[in-house]
Structure 1
């Protein structure tokens, strides 16, 4: 190896260059803002619908018992399709969506004036209230500290005895997804199934259950994780 090559590798290993590389990548919110402009968000419901349906069918019965009403929030709601879907449930008394892409929120508000849509930057944004169900699909791994976001969901977003359900398509066992960060030029936090599950337990969730939603031959499916807020 030449001196110049050794020097280059040493420089690239330094924290400054790691930070520079992180900053030079696109922000996920900018990518999805562009998608909203170009109408690419309209395919999200078709692509993610089956997995989300499966996840909601597990989560909602946890809180909608004995005729109880429930509140719901979708983090990374995009154009609001999940919010609108859950709002139709007869026991849903409130459904809100939060997203960091301004044009996604604008689209959601343009088609739905009955439910709440708020621009939010995660993990900094804290809710004005707590919810019985927190849902998220294809959101949390775009964060540099997904465990910190899980902690906030547990501590700040969920009401007592509330449940969170999150869908993740970018995980170590889904080999096809491992090229996504480079293809989109966006940071993604890559973890194995066991590492994701461990995070849920470490931040305080109980009754943690994980499964592959919408799995089929040749398709690993969505890593779906469900957990209940613990009483500390």
Structure 2
């Protein structure tokens, strides 16, 4: 009788339903948490992503009211909030509130770096398309090339909702791992003498510029592309 009770208890735990896929993903989640805390690699991204991976790969038993697909559960509310485009604008709001445009305004040539980043969108789109994805799926995947997580989520919900999880994971992991990816690429593309060049400090940016610029940029973007207003 005690043995049967222990068996029933074991079968009610998530351990009974673990397989190698859960274990691999949980290990990846732990690795991202380690990198965010120990190495200080984008902790605001990697830490929640790591915990999200772990939570998403804990096996749930149907009927407990915690499964992501069980209506009314906390995880289901999170999922629906992303799927219904509630969270992406909130994420953008938080990012926007933390953004410092001083470096950009003090050296306007850096605008070109932002423009060059769009090359990644089209390169990713073409690669995905020639790998066999549909045009809509390729467009959703291509947004990852712009290194913009909330936009990737928003576009994925519109064009390829079945790829939302993979796209969101790829976009945020890609951005968070930039400190890991950049150093070898910079060494590959520059010489040692290039890397020891000291950059001149930019001009002092007035407070009024920091206030006017985001408002002006928002108005221009909203007028040119009204569909982008949620973001």
TM-score by length of 2: 0.26
Bigger-Rg structure (1/2): 2
